[in-house]
C-alpha cells in the first residue's frame, strides 16, 4: 500500500482486521502517523472509568454503524454488532461474576480466587466483551489482559478507555506471551460450539503453552449442542488438568453450557 513516510496513515484498520480474522498477518508496520479523534478528551480517572461509558469524542466512529456509545445499546436493532449483546450497558455489566445465579455453570470470581488465595495475579481473558471480567479482577488486585476485535463496535477503544488492557488479536494468531507465564486464562462467549475441532486444538495447545504450572484455565459457560458435548469435553480434558470445578447446565432443549475450572499440572521434566 502506498503512503508518504511521515504523513498520516490511511484509516484502514478494518482491512487489517479482515486479514487477522482469516488467519493472515495484519498490515505491515509502516512509517506513518496514526490518526486520532479530532475531539479527543482526557479519559476519566480510574475510580470512575471502570463502570462508566467513555466520552463519545474519544473514538473515531467512521468505520462503525453507530456514532456514539449510547447507540450501541442492545435496544437498538441497528447497533452494528451481534456478539455480546448488552455489553456496552454498564448497568447490566456491573452485576457479572459477583451475583448469585441459579445456573450451576455460573461461577463467581470470589469462589474461583478462593481456590488458590493470593496465587492468581495476572491472566488473559479470551472472549467478546468490553473488559468487564478484567474490571472485576482488577478490583481483586488481579491484572487481566483482554483480547478483542472491533467486530462492528469499538471494543478495543472501550476496554482501553475503561482503564484496562486490550489485546488486538484473533483466535487464529499465536499469543504474544512467553511460555509458562500466565496465572489464569479465562474464556467466555467466543470459543463455543461453532468452532472447528482442529482450530480448537491449536488454540488450546497455545493456551497450555502460556499457562504456568498450577495456573487456571477457566472455561466459562461454553455452550454447544448436547450431541457434541463429548467431543468438546475430550478437547478440554486431553491435557489432564486437575478439576477444581466442573458443571453442565441446560441452555435449551438441544444445547448445554459447560463451565470448568482446571489446573495445569507441573510437568517438571
Ordered DSSP codes for 153-201: S-HHHHHHHTT-EEEE--TTS--SS-TT-EEEEEEESSSSTTS-HHHHH
Q: Identify how many contiguous H helices and E strands the chain contains and give both numbers.
A: 8, 7
Read off the pTM. 0.93
Cα–Cα dist 42/32, whole Å: 24
Domain boundaries, the chain: 1-35, 41-263
Give Cα separations from 51 to 69, 88, 106, 130, 216 (angstroms): 13, 10, 21, 11, 26
Instruction: Determine the CATH number of domain 41-263.
Output: 3.40.50.150
Is pLDDT at 186 greater than 70 in this prediction? yes
- Dump pLDDT digits (tens) for 1-15: 678 899 998 888 888
- Dump pLDDT digits (tens) for 36-51: 999 999 999 999 999 9
DSSP E strands: which ranges in the chain? 122-127, 143-148, 165-168, 182-188, 211-225, 242-250, 255-263
What's the pLDDT band for 189 if we cut at 50, 70, 90?
Answer: confident
Give every strand in the sheet of 122-127, ordered side by side: 165-168, 143-148, 122-127, 182-188, 211-225, 255-263, 242-250
Q: Identify the helix (H) or strand (E) that includes residue 20.
A: helix 13-21
Q: Tell me the average pLDDT of the chain.
A: 93
Is pLDDT at 29 greater than 80 in this prediction? no
Is pLDDT at 196 greater than 70 in this prediction? yes
User: Given the C-alpha cell 499440572, which residue does it identify?
Assistant: 265
Is pLDDT at 176 greater than 90 in this prediction? yes
Amino acid at each position: 500500500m502506498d503512503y508518504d513516510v511521515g504523513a498520516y496513515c490511511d484509516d484502514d484498520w478494518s482491512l487489517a482486521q479482515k486479514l487477522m480474522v482469516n488467519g493472515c498477518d495484519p498490515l505491515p508496520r509502516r512509517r506513518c502517523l496514526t490518526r486520532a479523534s479530532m475531539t479527543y478528551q482526557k479519559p476519566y480517572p480510574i475510580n470512575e472509568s471502570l463502570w462508566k461509558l467513555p466520552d463519545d469524542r474519544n473514538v473515531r466512529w467512521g468505520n462503525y454503524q453507530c456514532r456514539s456509545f449510547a447507540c450501541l445499546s442492545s435496544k437498538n436493532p441497528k447497533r452494528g454488532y451481534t456478539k455480546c449483546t448488552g455489553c456496552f450497558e454498564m448497568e447490566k455489566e456491573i452485576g457479572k461474576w459477583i451475583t448469585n445465579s441459579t445456573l450451576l455453570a455460573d461461577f463467581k470470581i470470589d469462589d474461583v480466587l478462593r481456590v488458590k488465595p493470593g496465587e492468581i495475579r495476572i491472566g488473559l481473558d479470551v472472549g467478546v466483551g468490553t473488559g468487564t471480567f478484567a474490571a472485576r479482577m482488577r478490583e481483586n488486585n488481579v491484572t487481566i489482559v483482554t483480547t478483542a476485535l472491533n467486530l462492528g463496535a469499538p471494543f478495543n477503544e472501550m476496554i482501553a478507555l475503561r482503564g484496562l488492557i486490550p489485546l488486538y488479536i484473533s483466535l487464529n494468531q499465536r499469543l504474544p506471551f512467553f511460555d509458562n507465564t500466565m496465572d489464569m486464562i479465562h474464556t467466555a462467549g467466543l470459543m463455543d460450539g461453532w468452532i472447528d475441532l482442529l482450530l480448537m486444538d491449536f488454540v488450546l495447545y497455545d493456551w497450555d503453552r502460556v499457562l504456568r504450572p498450577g495456573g487456571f484455565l477457566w472455561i466459562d459457560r461454553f455452550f454447544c449442542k448436547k450431541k457434541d458435548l463429548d467431543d468438546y469435553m475430550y478437547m478440554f480434558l486431553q491435557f489432564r488438568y486437575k478439576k477444581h470445578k466442573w458443571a453442565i447446565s441446560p441452555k435449551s432443549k438441544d444445547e448445554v453450557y459447560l463451565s470448568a475450572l482446571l489446573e495445569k499440572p507441573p510437568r517438571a521434566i
